[in-house]
Amino acid sequence: MTLIKQDDVIKSITDALQFISYYHPVDYIQALGQAYEQEQSASAKDAIAQILYNSRLCAEGHRPICQDTGIVVVFLEIGMDIQWQGSMSLEEMINEGVHLAYTHPDNILRASVLADPAGARKNTRDNTPAVIHSKIVRGNTVKVKLAAKGGGSENKAKFAALNPSADIVAWITNAVSSMGAGWCPPGIMGIGIGGTPEKAMLLAKESLLEPVNIQQLMEQNKQGQILSRTQELRLELYEKINALGIGAQGLGGLTTVVDVKVLDYPTHAASLPVAIIPNCAATRHTHFTLDGSGPAVLTAPKLEDWPDVTWSASPKARRVNLDTITKEDMHSWQPGEQLLLNGKLLTGRDAAHKRIVDTLARGESLPEGVDFNNRFIYYVGPVDAVNNEAVGPAGPTTSTRMDQYTETMLADTGLIGMIGKAERGAGAIEAIKKHKAVYLIAVGGAAYLISKAIEKSTIIAYPELGMEAIYEFEVKDMPVTVGVDVHGESVHLSGPKKWSKLIRR
């Protein structure tokens, strides 16, 4: 019988969550390094370079890889020969660990979890509760697999109860093609097949915690080794998903996924449940075992393990002064062109947009200091600053969630540009074209690097919304790419189209 102490569980969870907030798994980062070497699309290569450089900065600075520090997901395998020492339930221990990790003063993480999701959506302020899955198994240890999943990638999860004769590969490839880039590729696609609907989703999630090793599997296949059906599926899906040409950040390119993982389980004769969950550029997970000898010991990766890639802005990048810009200045900007933003911009995401649009609908004025005339808005919910930072990691959030507000924002507030990540929907593109506005993208998964370009941050309105408040940022050479130009040309439509053709040639 092994005695597991409450304090060891709490400390292990806290340490592991801090660890994965700033250390990418080495297998992912090395696979991304290979993707960088192979990439031929200039925009996608630049985006991968930003993700890799950001990753190294985070490992060195112990600050989060992404402003979305995720919702905590824990898989437990609890040995039957375990005794617990302490007064808390296991769930309470884990949530105490989450609380301590997310409020850690040296590396405060963003609290993104909201209680009452269909109602008040109130932030729990410490990212609790975690989502916990446990299994009782033989043995006398507790095995823990823990991940922090970003909302952008979780939101792209798909499920279907397919007809048993359906073409699984065709369904998955179509589903990935419809996901857009809000899940911040390049990443990993997790597939769960079989069981029941909820089992398939769990398999898809758990598959993402396996090592990145598709290159080894390709080698085994080349050498003629006999593969299982799930291994064959991995190879076929890897090739077909990358052939979609989505590329890094959806800009069009060779690598959309660095691996595809598949787990399966027996299912009912009438059923073929299939689930997909992507893992994004902020792939974060670690594993440890508690055996009664104390808290988990996590070994930090060596900086030599990171690909030797640094990022600097292209010498051709156009510098833009946000304080003097007019709509006319934006006419010559091309989709895919890199810009370096300087001056002041406002921030706002879901909750702030809703309040703004509701305020305007009531015929009331926006809060003092909120003036969007001739200005840009950045869709971001930053991490709180520590030490002498102006702001913590501050990468973009998925823009499509703001599509419903775009026409009102452009027509009624004087706003001329937006910055976010991934594609815009048809309605938002129409509004951009109609108002001769622009949409720019920053790289999702490069949040700490982007925060280095933010010199000052002031809360202007709605402080009670926490990270969703409206801030004014003063930026210096903040790197962005033109996503939709004043004519409504979208790089997320033209890029993947061009690269899927080139790949299939």
User: Which residues inside 279-298 make contact with ligand SF4, applying CB under 6 A?
Assistant: 280-282
Nearer to ligand SF4, 6 or 155 (CB): 155
Among 245, 307, 382, 444, binds ligand SF4 (CB under 6 A): 444
Give the number of residues in contact with ligand SF4, rule: CB under 6 A.
14
Q: Should residue 153 be labelled a site residue for ligand SF4 when binding is judged by CB under 6 A?
A: yes
Q: Which residues are paired to 343 by β-bridges?
A: 475
Which residues, other chains included, contact 132 with Cβ-Cβ below 8 Å and sequence gap of 6+?
74, 76, 90, 91, 94
Q: Which residues are paired to 145 by β-bridges?
A: 75, 287
Interior CA angle at 409 toward 479 and 116, to 5°? 90
**Smallest distance from ligand SF4 to CB 410, Å:** 24
Among 184, 325, 428, 460, binds ligand SF4 (CB under 6 A): 184
C-alpha torsion angle, residues 336, 339, 341, 347 (rounded to 10)? 0
Q: Are 139 and 81 in contact (CB under 8 A)?
A: yes
Report CA-CA distances (Å) from 404 to 110, 409, 429: 25, 10, 11
Nearer to ligand SF4, 184 or 246 (CB): 184
Q: Should residue 23 be labelled a site residue for ligand SF4 when binding is judged by CB under 6 A?
A: no
Nearer to ligand SF4, 187 or 488 (CB): 187
Stretch that binds ligand SF4, among 3-11, 54-62, 276-284, 366-374 (CB under 6 A): 276-284
Among 19, 23, 28, 183, binds ligand SF4 (CB under 6 A): 183
Nearer to ligand SF4, 401 or 498 (CB): 401
Nearer to ligand SF4, 151 or 488 (CB): 151
**Smallest distance from ligand SF4 to CB 68, Å:** 4
Nearer to ligand SF4, 11 or 110 (CB): 110
Among 273, 445, 479, 483, binds ligand SF4 (CB under 6 A): 445
- Cα 403 from Cα 441, distance rounded (Å): 14
Give the residue ranges of DSSP H helices in 414-484.
426-434, 447-451
Q: Could you say which DSSP state residue 490 is in?
A: B
Report CA-CA distances (Å) from 367 to 371, 372, 436, 458: 9, 11, 26, 15
**Smallest distance from ligand SF4 to CB 187, Å:** 8
Residue number of the CB atom closest to ligand SF4: 150
**Smallest distance from ligand SF4 to CB 281, Å:** 4
SS3 letters across 379-428? CCCCCCCCCCCCCCCCCCCEHHHHHHHHHHHHHHCCCCEEEEECCCCHHH
User: Which residues inside 62-81 make contact with ligand SF4, applying CB under 6 A?
Assistant: 66, 68
Among 395, 417, 479, 496, binds ligand SF4 (CB under 6 A): 395
Nearer to ligand SF4, 93 or 447 (CB): 447
Q: Are 32 and 44 in contact (CB under 8 A)?
A: no
Nearer to ligand SF4, 14 or 55 (CB): 55
Whether the CA torsion 48, 477, 382, 364 is positive or negative: it is: negative
Q: Characterize the bridge pairing of strands 158-162 and 272-279.
A: antiparallel
**Smallest distance from ligand SF4 to CB 257, Å:** 14
- Cα 264 from Cα 229, distance rounded (Å): 10
**Smallest distance from ligand SF4 to CB 200, Å:** 22
Nearer to ligand SF4, 151 or 336 (CB): 151
Q: Are 410 and 435 in contact (CB under 8 A)?
A: yes
Nearer to ligand SF4, 336 or 445 (CB): 445
Q: Should residue 157 be labelled a site residue for ligand SF4 when binding is judged by CB under 6 A?
A: no
**Smallest distance from ligand SF4 to CB 195, Å:** 26
Residue tagged 């696979």 (tokens): 31
Residue 37 has a CB neighbour count (10 Å cut-off) of 11
**Smallest distance from ligand SF4 to CB 69, Å:** 8
**Smallest distance from ligand SF4 to CB 2, Å:** 35
Interior CA angle at 422 toward 311 and 330, to 5°? 80
Residue 501, φ and ψ in degrees, nearest 5: -65, -45
Stretch that binds ligand SF4, among 134-142, 194-202, 274-282, 325-333 (CB under 6 A): 274-282
- CA-based nearest residue to 402, from 378, 370, 386: 378
Helical axes 6-22 vs 90-102, angle rounded to 10°: 40
Q: Should residue 250 be labelled a site residue for ligand SF4 when binding is judged by CB under 6 A?
A: no
- Cα 249 from Cα 185, distance rounded (Å): 5
Nearer to ligand SF4, 62 or 401 (CB): 401
**Smallest distance from ligand SF4 to CB 394, Å:** 11
Where do contacts with ligand SF4 occur on this chain (CB under 6 A)? 66, 68, 150-153, 183-184, 280-282, 395, 444-445
